[in-house]
């Protein structure tokens, strides 16, 4: 084991942690170790006042004038510009809008239309289901298209996702577009975005990346990697708030030629001329559809302000240190948990998957003792290590609680817990 081997050693790491001061930017409840920042990021301390101001001043006093006076009309682009550096894009290549699912629909349809003589969409069999549902619908709606599923990882701790040989085999001349998750929502296995995008392009296809479990967890370089389109969530590592709008990236070279099919008035070149014919806006605005959730934008805006001061390389270093510590401690103290994430830190995101026969009950028992993680089908305890607010001591304490939960094994003496609607 190379990491700290005592609680005191963890405290020493916390004392020199360059990100430690960011903890005070979040309101985390006492007595909770929050290991679920990849499902719903915690509340930034600045958000309650930002929401109050938005509602009282911009809505209450400004009324409809706020579309102009408070910059409401520009928000999808101004917030997109704030997200851009977090994914390595230029400020005018990103918009904040809709949900990740809807943005996937838009970019998949746009990409398919750009390759009319190719009919196949390639996606990962283990992808987050919404990606597959959307890809299947787009393929069906644009008649004569087909979804081809590939395995890009065996799912084990030694997984090297860039080795993706099934993907290479699938990349024949019929493939129009490949949709991939950069960091797998379950295993945390991470693709080599640059190498894989290059291989996709060499085959003549376009590359769409889902960054839901990457943004705010690892530094990204979508423009530098030549990515065509990307989408992602803001309510996970970015702490935008429950249901906060997603983002959509399109490479500048596609701004004039990409046509997405949800042609709502907010994507029109001149919406306030109220013309009966649709004409797409020249830049990223063409990816907008209808009126955005401005109250939700207010919490997202306050959350994004935190990220302005954050060094993403420091985030990555701390992520590696935290996830490495968790993997080491679990490896020595919890033999009944099987690691489901790559051991190589450069091959994983900022969460760790641990397999256990009673994973759902393990997660429930942890939550009862103040350690919040989540369960993913079929048998995964998924724990996120979010570097902006998690300390090494907290992680050490969480493992102590995990060890106690596994020792007590409450599931052995109780009937199986009924599943809540959200796991």
Length of the chain equals 423
104 sits in which H/E element: helix 100-114
In 3D, which of 7, 17, 1 has the Cα closest to residue 401?
7
State the Rg of the chain over Cα: 22
In 3D, which of 326, 348, 333, 14 has the Cα closest to residue 158?
348
Interface pick for ligand PLP out of 5, 74, 130, 263 (rule CB under 6 A): 130
287 is catalytic: no
Site for ligand PLP in 164-193 (CB under 6 A): 181, 185
Nearer to ligand PLP, 287 or 411 (CB): 287
Query: Does the footprint of ligand PLP cover residue 101 (CB under 6 A)?
Result: yes
| Residue with token string 């990021």 | 41
Q: Could you tell me the smallest distance in angstroms from the CB atom of residue 36 to ligand PLP?
A: 12
Enumerate the β-bridge partners of residue 230. 209, 249
Query: Does the footprint of ligand PLP cover residue 212 (CB under 6 A)?
Result: yes
| Phi, psi of 309, rounded to the nearest 5 degrees | -95, 5
Nearer to ligand PLP, 137 or 174 (CB): 137
Query: Hey, CA dihedral for 266, 269, 275, 278, is it positive or negative?
Result: negative
Query: Does the footprint of ligand PLP cover residue 246 (CB under 6 A)?
Result: yes
How many residues sit in the footprint of ligand PLP (CB under 6 A)? 13
Query: Does the footprint of ligand PLP cover residue 74 (CB under 6 A)?
Result: no
Stretch that binds ligand PLP, among 94-102, 192-200, 367-375, 394-402 (CB under 6 A): 94-102
Q: Could you tell me the smallest distance in angstroms from the CB atom of residue 266 to ligand PLP?
A: 18
Q: Could you tell me the smallest distance in angstroms from the CB atom of residue 97 to ligand PLP?
A: 11
Q: Could you tell me the smallest distance in angstroms from the CB atom of residue 292 to ligand PLP?
A: 14
128 is catalytic: yes
Query: Does the footprint of ligand PLP cover residue 210 (CB under 6 A)?
Result: yes
- Residue 271: Cβ within 10 Å count: 16
Interface pick for ligand PLP out of 161, 213, 255, 356 (rule CB under 6 A): 213
Nearer to ligand PLP, 217 or 402 (CB): 217
| Residue with token string 């996970």 | 236
For residue 341, what are its two tokens?
């994430």
Stretch that binds ligand PLP, among 45-53, 99-107, 189-197, 353-361 (CB under 6 A): 99-107
d(CA 156, CA 178): 23
Catalytic residue among 236, 285, 286, 318: 236
Q: Could you tell me the smallest distance in angstroms from the CB atom of residue 35 to ligand PLP?
A: 16
235 is catalytic: yes
What DSSP assignment string belongs to 305-343?
HHHHT--HHHHHHHHHHHHHHHHHHHHHH-TTSEE-S-S
Exposure string (b/e) for 163-187, b if CB count within 10 Å is 16 or more? ebebbeebbeebbbbbbbbbbbbbb
Q: Could you tell me the smallest distance in angstroms from the CB atom of residue 294 to ligand PLP?
A: 18
| Phi, psi of 13, rounded to the nearest 5 degrees | -65, -40
Q: Which residues lie near ligand PLP (CB under 6 A)?
A: 99-101, 128, 130-131, 181, 185, 210, 212-213, 233, 246
Question: Which residues are known to be catalytic?
Answer: 128, 210, 235-236, 382
């Amino acid at each position: 084991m190379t990491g700290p081997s005592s609680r005191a050693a963890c405290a020493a790491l916390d004392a020199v942690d360059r990100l430690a001061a960011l903890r005070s930017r979040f309101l985390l409840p006492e007595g909770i170790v929050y290991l679920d920042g990849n499902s719903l990021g915690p509340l930034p301390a600045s958000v309650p006042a930002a929401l109050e101001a938005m509602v009282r001043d911009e809505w209450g006093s400004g009324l409809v004038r706020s579309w102009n006076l408070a910059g409401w009309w520009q928000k999808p682009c101004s917030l997109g510009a704030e997200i851009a550096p977090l994914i390595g894009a230029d400020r005018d290549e990103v918009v904040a809008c809709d949900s990740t699912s809807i943005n996937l629909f838009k970019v998949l349809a746009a990409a398919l239309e750009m390759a009319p003589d190719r009919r196949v969409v390639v996606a990962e069999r283990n992808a987050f289901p919404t990606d597959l549902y959307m890809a299947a619908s787009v393929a069906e709606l644009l008649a004569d298209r087909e979804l081809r599923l590939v395995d890009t990882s065996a799912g084990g701790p030694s997984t090297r996702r860039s080795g993706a040989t099934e993907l290479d085999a699938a990349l024949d001349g019929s493939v129009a577009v490949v949709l991939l998750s950069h960091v797998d929502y379950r295993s945390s296995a991470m693709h080599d975005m640059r190498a894989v995008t290059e291989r996709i392009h060499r085959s003549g296809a376009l590359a769409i990346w889902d960054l839901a479990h990457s943004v705010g967890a690892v530094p990204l370089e979508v423009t530098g990697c030549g990515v065509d389109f990307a989408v992602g969530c803001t309510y996970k590592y970015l702490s935008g708030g429950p249901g906060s709008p997603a983002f959509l990236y399109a490479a500048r070279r596609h701004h004039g030629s990409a046509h997405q099919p949800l042609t709502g008035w907010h994507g029109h070149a001149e919406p306030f001329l109220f013309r009966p014919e649709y004409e797409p806006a020249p830049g990223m605005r063409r990816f907008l559809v209808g009126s955005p959730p401005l109250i939700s934008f207010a919490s997202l805006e306050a959350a994004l302000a935190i990220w302005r001061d954050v060094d993403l390389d420091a985030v990555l270093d701390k992520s590696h240190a935290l996830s490495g510590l968790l993997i080491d401690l679990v490896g020595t103290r919890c033999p009944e948990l099987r690691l489901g994430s790559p051991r190589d830190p450069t091959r994983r995101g900022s969460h760790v998957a641990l397999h256990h026969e009673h994973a759902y009950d393990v997660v429930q028992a942890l939550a009862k003792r103040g350690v919040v993680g989540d369960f993913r089908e079929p048998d995964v305890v998924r724990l996120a290590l979010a570097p902006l607010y998690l300390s090494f001591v907290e992680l050490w304490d969480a493992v102590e609680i995990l060890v106690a939960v596994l020792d007590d094994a409450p599931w052995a003496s109780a009937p199986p817990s009924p599943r809540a609607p959200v796991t």
